[in-house]
Amino acid sequence: MSKATMKPWMIAIALAAFSCGPSEDRDLPAPYRDLAVPAGIVQSPSARARGEALFAAHCALCHGIRGNGHGVRSAALSSNPRNFTDAEWQMRTSTRRLFYAIREGVSGTAMPSWKSLSVDECWDLVAYVRSLGPG
């Protein structure tokens, strides 16, 4: 590999390293950036079941019962609800960022803050939303 092609290649690898995984969380507010994700929560069948009930009660009207972003209220919103079944989104979004979005809402979108839910309920929602991704 020549020196001319090596430099852009190294830059691309460095940028890729900064755009995925835990480093994605560096722009989260401090309380969320270092938030401990409860061990096994995402794989927990009981957390997923509780999360599914919470999702049906609080999220499905916008995100759709299948989590695909096609809820009955979605057409009336100023922005499209997130499609949680999207494999690319599932891969690039950290568990902390998902928890943060549920707790704090998403600025510039119709996604509200769900601070009315307990921290444990938010983790249950995270577990369920993670289960909506591809196998």
Joined together, the tokens standing for residue 13 give 């690898």
- 124 in any annotated domain: yes
- 53 in any annotated domain: yes
CA nearest neighbour of 122 among 63, 64, 50, 69 = 50
Is the predicted pLDDT of residue 135 greater than 90, yes or no? no
- The Cα 116–Cα 86 span in angstroms is 27
pLDDT band, residue 32 (cuts 50/70/90): very high
When divided into structural domains, the chain yields a total of 1
Mean pLDDT of the chain: 86
Which comes out higher in pLDDT, residue 20 or 93? 93
pTM over 0.75: yes
Q: Residue 106's domain is classified under what CATH number?
A: 1.10.760.10
**One-letter identity of residue 107:** S
Domain range for 93 is 25-131
- The Cα 128–Cα 117 span in angstroms is 15
- 19 in any annotated domain: no
- 59 in any annotated domain: yes
pLDDT band, residue 11 (cuts 50/70/90): very low
Chain centroid to CA 97: 6
- The Cα 133–Cα 91 span in angstroms is 9
Compute and round to an integer the Cα radius of gyration of the chain: 17
Instruction: Give the mean pLDDT of 1-16.
Output: 45
* Half-sphere exposure in the Cβ direction for 45 (13 Å, CA): 0
Instruction: Give the mean pLDDT of 39-65.
Output: 97
- 5 in any annotated domain: no
CA nearest neighbour of 56 among 45, 36, 37, 71 = 71
Instruction: Give the mean pLDDT of 93-103.
Output: 97
Instruction: Give the mean pLDDT of 19-33.
Output: 76
Residue 61, judged by CB atoms within 10 A of its CB (0-12, 13-18, 19+), counts as middle
Is the predicted pLDDT of residue 8 greater than 70, yes or no? no
- 18 in any annotated domain: no
- 3 in any annotated domain: no
